[in-house]
Amino acid sequence: MTGRSKRLLDSAIEIRRLRERIDLLEEELRQLRESLKPPETLRIQIADAFRLSRVQASILATLFGARSVTTERLMMLVDTVTTGNPDRDLLNIVRGHVSGLRKALSPHCIEIESVYGDFYRLPAASKTRIIRLLNKVAA
């Protein structure tokens, strides 16, 4: 085998190894995105109780199930719930949905707090109000 043939063979082996690694990473990313989604039943209950869009209900369900949520996590959540133009500005989309959520929830005295501009959270009193309203709707 000549030096050139050996380099071509080594290159082909490296390309195959990299393609397998890409496949593995894409599967891990898919699983991670799936794990970020809130439970579907909770999302549906929240959407029905507060008359929210699918994205807004997913954000609220995620906030409800966590102590605080990073803006980056909400961006990934919005990216998994919606489809469309990959060039969209997810940060502004998240901010828009959070703003809409705040308006929709204010009549129920439910607040979404911003923490240093990097996190969002529901105060304990807001979580309690959500539980009461979900129980009231279910009854």
Locate 33 and state its tokens.
């995105």
Helices within the chain (DSSP H only) = 3-36, 40-50, 54-64, 71-81, 90-105, 124-138
CA–CA separation, 52 vs 78, rounded Å? 14
Model pLDDT, residue 101: 94
How does pLDDT run across 56-97, given as a tens digit for each residue? 998 999 998 888 899 888 888 887 776 655 557 888 888 999
